[in-house]
Amino acid sequence: MNFIDLRSDTVTKPTEEMRKAMYKAEVGDDVYGDDPTITELESYAAELVHKEASLFVPSGTFGNQLSLFTHCNRGNEVILGEDCHIVMHEVGAPAIIAGVQLRPIKSNKGEINPFEVEKRIRGVDIHFPETALICVENAHSNGKVISLENMKDIYEIGLKHNIPVHLDGARLFNAAAYLNVHPKEITKYCDSVMFCLSKGLCAPVGSILAGSKDFIQKARKKRKIMGGGLRQAGILAAAGLIALKDMRKYLKEDHENALYLGEQLSKIPGININLDDININMVFFNMNDELYNMDKLVEEFYKKGIKINGPENGELRFVTNYWIKREDIDYVIKTLKEILNRK
């Protein structure tokens, strides 16, 4: 069965062009610095986000953790939002890999208050860990895009206290599409950035960590410690180049489809949804108990060729992607109405 897969944008498969480019990719041993396709990808990616250098890494989690590992020493402290991906969904890796302490602060739909960030920067005291890094996330995994003003304010606090800012930009290009700006307008407010080539951009594997030359040189060695020194990785970079050059333009369509999906859902009585929160390709909503048991939907949808995740914290999340078209969304809505009517 050809499923409509709304679980995440991580489920995207590579396009025909990517498969062809991967087949033909010129490769070498990247640990020796010999892979021309990786070299091309890393310089293209660095230029795209206006950083001096970049590094190919196997995943977004790898890129974030490598950033912490490179910016920080063991026992340092990292300030970040309580609901960001690094805190919520990276398996406690900062304690294991970089050996740092996280200092999560309250977030308002993903946005952290610059004054609260500044308050938590440690002074000199025998009892205190050293604040080594501030992390922000844009677009946020709650589907919201953080304002450039907020990013600027936080970056300026970092500058004032000589503390670098890392941006988890797994969906950086979704944020840029939403804000209608070049990605460099976002990345100018960070010292390092991780962004994914997979997810909405459809590459099968890979993310990029970008920053200063010195930072990336250090990160390259630490990547080796983490087992991320890949050999003929040009096969993956070939798809990554298409992701960055060609696929970014389709993200707006994913966003429009998500909004359309949200609008259709909002017309169903008993479904609670805030359309203003649909900034990118993610639609969060819940249902009144009398309407339907959300846990049961996973199975019912599956029988009809639709994959969704079960509810998390009482909410369902549907995510659009390149392979999901308007007619698929119409089918999802029609199927949902049928399920609700025959309950």
Ligand X SMILES: Cc1ncc(COP(=O)(O)O)c(C=O)c1O
Which residue ranges make up the site for ligand X (CB under 6 A)?
Answer: 10, 59-61, 64, 85, 137, 141, 168, 170, 196, 207
Nearest to 193, CA basis, from 292, 66, 308, 29: 66
Nearer to ligand X, 77 or 137 (CB): 137
Nearer to ligand X, 90 or 191 (CB): 90
How far does the chain reach from its first CA to its final CA, in angstroms? Answer: 25
Residue number with the shortest CB distance to ligand X?
Answer: 60
Tell me the C-alpha distance between 84 and 236, whole Å. 27
CB of 342 to ligand X, least distance (A): 34
The helix/strand/coil state of 54 is: strand
Nearer to ligand X, 59 or 113 (CB): 59
Q: What is the CA radius of gyration of the chain?
A: 21
The DSSP code for 164 is -
CB of 192 to ligand X, least distance (A): 14
Question: Please, what is the angle between helix 213-225 and helix 60-71, to 10°?
Answer: 110
Nearer to ligand X, 6 or 271 (CB): 6
CB of 86 to ligand X, least distance (A): 7
CA 309 from chain center: how many Å? 18
CB of 319 to ligand X, least distance (A): 10
Nearer to ligand X, 88 or 159 (CB): 88
The helix/strand/coil state of 65 is: helix
CB of 76 to ligand X, least distance (A): 21
Rounded to 5°, the CA angle 85-48-97 comes to 35
